[in-house]
Structure 1
Amino acid sequence: MELEVVRVLDHEQEQQEQGQGQGQGQGGWQRPTLALTSQQKNLIAQFLLQRSKAGVLPRGSSAEAAKRFNIHKRTAERIWHISKQQIDRGEPVMMQGKAKCYQHKDKLILDGDKFRNMSMLERSTIRKVASKMEPTLAEGKLLYHSMHNIVHIDEKWFYMTKTSDRYYLLPDEDVPYRSCKSKRFITKVMFMAAVSRPLCGPDGEIIFDGKIGLFPFTEQVPAQRSSKNRPKGTIETKPIQSINKEVMTTCLLNQIIPTIKAKWPANASKKIFIQQDNVKPHLRAVDQQFESLASTDGFEFHLISQPPNSPDTNVLDLGYFRAIQLLQDDKQATSVDDLLRNVFTSFEELSPQTLNRVFITLQSCLTAILEMHGKNDYKIPHLNKDRLQRTEGLPLQFQVEEGLVRESLEYLKMPENNTGDTYDIWLLNHDLGY
């Protein structure tokens, strides 16, 4: 396995090298270097895709791309080879990392202490390094956080059947039979879901699918009386109808946290933020006892609460629960065990790409919330993600106008809008020069 190492320097090392390097290099020879950025490689890939016909590149296209973009012909051929592989796998054409040409050494001026706290996967590209450092301010725009170390949790009721449904039948077909004790009391089970943003490697392979797990609130109890289906004393699965803080805390500490530790990528950041809503059974955002119990084995967990009346700030409410529900509705259930099996199967059937798309929509909703000064009377932006995936590729992070962020900060600092919440905006104030 080939590993490319790019060295970075902090401020002190840069000053030392500048002092040692004075007087050197004159009359000497330095090997030429060439490093294409992801944006440049994407432009080359799109240029070649426009000239291809039915997945075949006409003769002379690589030479034409080499002349147009001032690169070697073999570099263009390698970019086309990678693009063709992504097309065959049904993935968007997206170039990441540097082109492998001459060996080189880049020098980046970074905060050394902050850089050392980053995992190896977060250092694979310059763009990832920039996103993990302080917010990037370039050409009047800021980048959203990539959200790879944020776990979204939320609860949802899944029902055995629906009160009303529609079926299309042929004239000689019978109406399907459904039985239920009462349409007002349909059997239901509450699930706690935990997801994070999927993590992809440099070649587009899925390193972590982001699907941490579904955790049903059920219990095993013996049957109190005999029936035609089972004798008395048979262990049955029953839904827990009353979900209090004790049940929620047990699920969080005994199921969600261990599952995160077991599934979390080895080289990813282990400082994890768990985002929840503000329902009463949930723990407080700052719970020292929870953090001390959960933060073991090298992990550091923190609870954060999303703003009130803002379901669109949680990827589960924003669209992922709906996607699970659509798949679960197509599966028949006659018992609680069937319902559990159907929901688990639907959760596994959803692809990591679907989850990643919801995170992209989340960033667009955050911009809309900034424009509305925190209100929720906006329409979810339509991004046409299918077209983006076919052409430019889905972005890792959206940009937001610097002026909009400054305006929102000024709005939050007004006395009538300062409600004493625990959200700390000092870092963003500092980065923008306040």
Structure 2
Amino acid sequence: MGVSKTTVGRWAKSHLIRPHTNAIKPTLTEANKISRMRWCLTHIQPALYEGKLLHHAMHNTIHIDEKWFYMTKTSDRYYLLPDEDEPYRACKPQFGTYGQTIFDGKIGIFSFTEQVPAKRKSKNRPRGTLETKPIPSVNKEAMRECLLNQIIPAIKAKWPANASKDIYIQQDNAKPHLRSFDSQFDELASSDGFKFHLISQPANSPDTNVLDLGFFRAIQSLQDDKVATNIDELLGNVWSSFEELTPQTLNNVFLTLQSCLSKILEVHGGNNCKIPHLNKERLRRTVGLPTSLEVGENLVKESLEYLLLPQNDVSASYDIGHLMNVLQL
């Protein structure tokens, strides 16, 4: 801008300019955008007896995803006393009648690690001591083992008795993820009274998954405050951070997801939209948070009409046909 840094700082302090952190978003094809719009519309349902359109509350949808956690950040900011040594860092939602939590919405967090004997002796441990290491690759077999032997049993153990056992497991389109026609998954999918369905969110759409949308960030912010010097301590910190997060935090992110689905429709499937602020804490203190956000009828009509334009080549299939019938399109 041709001015000094102190001038820029003064302008920012006076709100003449504003700081902005810009995140790179996935590039979307036109097919991606159409897929995202269809996905958003399939999560809208008419509200019985109210004459409204609402986002699905997703009480029977489980979101799964993977994330790397690190013992420390590459760089961090510290505030030191004038004579203090610089730090040296190196490394190789449902409630009961009286408000009690029946189900906190968190199924579990599972590590892709293995126990490996140390190949060499060191000052920290003798040769042959079992050490926790990340597995070499999270491939389809690792995902199948985690899903069938950890995630689904955890869902069954924690699922509320009076909740629907027709459960949708939402994942992204990563190659290692199982597809709905996996024979081993199908065998386990209908057991103990449960019926599990694997569904894949639209391609290049982390903003349609609560984990990428905010829940991972919430875990990371807590974990960053904890010190870890080895993998076992890191795992303990991640697990404890996961447990510390409240059901209210998870509920907030699910509501943010619903508002994002509406914003995606407003920009015809794009991702060039800002996450809206819902003032959730104020709502929680006053009228209470809703479980489903209302969707404007005009927005849904306009979105359906856009999808049916000849250049978009989208037929009125069953998944959005019910909305067309409700709106008499």
Counterpart of 2:76 in 1: which secondary structure?
coil
Gap change, CA 1:243 and 1:291, over 3 Å in 2: same
RMSD: 2.2
**Aligned residue in 1 for 2:76:** 165
**Aligned residue in 1 for 2:88:** 177
**Aligned residue in 2 for 1:300:** 195
**Aligned residue in 1 for 2:58:** 147
Gap change, CA 1:139 and 1:341, over 3 Å in 2: closer
Gap change, CA 1:179 and 1:423, over 3 Å in 2: farther
For residue 334 of structure 1, the aligned residue among 203, 210, 229 is 229
**Aligned residue in 2 for 1:374:** 269
Select between 198-207 and 282-291 the one with higher mean Cα deviation.
282-291
Q: Deviations over 1:350-378 (max 9, x none)?
A: 11111111111111111101111111110
Gap change, CA 1:374 and 1:286, over 3 Å in 2: farther
Question: Retained in 1: the 8 A contact 2:180–2:186?
Answer: no
Shift of 1:137: 6.5
Instruction: State the distance in 2 between where 1:134 and 1:329 align.
Output: 39
**Aligned residue in 1 for 2:96:** 201
**Aligned residue in 2 for 1:75:** none
Q: Tell me the percent identity.
A: 71
For residue 411 of structure 1, the aligned residue among 306, 316, 322 is 306
Q: Deviations over 1:106-128 (max 9, x none)?
A: xxxxxxxxxxxxxxxxxxxxxxx
Shift of 1:291: 2.9
Counterpart of 2:64 in 1: which secondary structure?
strand
1:220 aligned onto 2:115: yes
The residue correspondences of 1:40-55 to structure 2 (distance < 5 A) are none
Q: Deviations over 1:263-317 (max 9, x none)?
A: 1011111000001111111122454652332321000000111112221111111
Instruction: State the distance in 2 between where 1:367 and 1:212 align.
Output: 27
Gap change, CA 1:423 and 1:307, over 3 Å in 2: farther
Instruction: State the distance in 1 between where 2:228 and 2:162 align.
Output: 40
1:243 aligned onto 2:154: no
Instruction: State the distance in 2 between where 1:236 and 1:421 align.
Output: 56
Counterpart of 2:109 in 1: which secondary structure?
strand
Higher CA-based Rg: 1
Gap change, CA 1:285 and 1:431, over 3 Å in 2: farther
1:400 aligned onto 2:295: yes
1:136 maps to a residue whose letter is A
**Aligned residue in 2 for 1:264:** 159
1:147 maps to a residue whose letter is M
Q: Deviations over 1:226-249 (max 9, x none)?
A: 111111111111101311111111
**Aligned residue in 1 for 2:324:** 429
- Equivalenced residue count is 286
Gap change, CA 1:216 and 1:387, over 3 Å in 2: same
Q: Deviations over 1:142-200 (max 9, x none)?
A: 0111111000111110012111111111223221222234xxxxxxxxxxxxxxxx112
Shift of 1:410: 2.3
The residue correspondences of 1:7-406 to structure 2 (distance < 5 A) are 135-136=46-47, 141-181=52-92, 198-287=93-182, 289-406=184-301
Shift of 1:424: 2.7
Q: Deviations over 1:369-406 (max 9, x none)?
A: 11111111100001111211222211111100122112
Gaps of 5+ in 1: 1-132, 182-197
Gap change, CA 1:363 and 1:134, over 3 Å in 2: closer
Shift of 1:411: 2.1
Instruction: State the distance in 1 between where 2:165 and 2:51 align.
Output: 32
Counterpart of 2:319 in 1: which secondary structure?
coil
Gap change, CA 1:349 and 1:231, over 3 Å in 2: same
Gap change, CA 1:421 and 1:342, over 3 Å in 2: farther
What TM-score, normalized to structure 1?
0.62
**Aligned residue in 2 for 1:96:** none
Question: Retained in 1: the 8 A contact 2:307–2:314?
Answer: no
Select between 284-293 and 233-242 the one with higher mean Cα deviation.
284-293
Q: Deviations over 1:64-115 (max 9, x none)?
A: xxxxxxxxxxxxxxxxxxxxxxxxxxxxxxxxxxxxxxxxxxxxxxxxxxxx
Counterpart of 2:67 in 1: which secondary structure?
strand
Counterpart of 1:424 in 2: which secondary structure?
helix
1:357 maps to a residue whose letter is N
Question: Retained in 1: the 8 A contact 2:103–2:160?
Answer: yes
Gap change, CA 1:243 and 1:165, over 3 Å in 2: same
Instruction: State the distance in 1 between where 2:135 and 2:239 align.
Output: 18
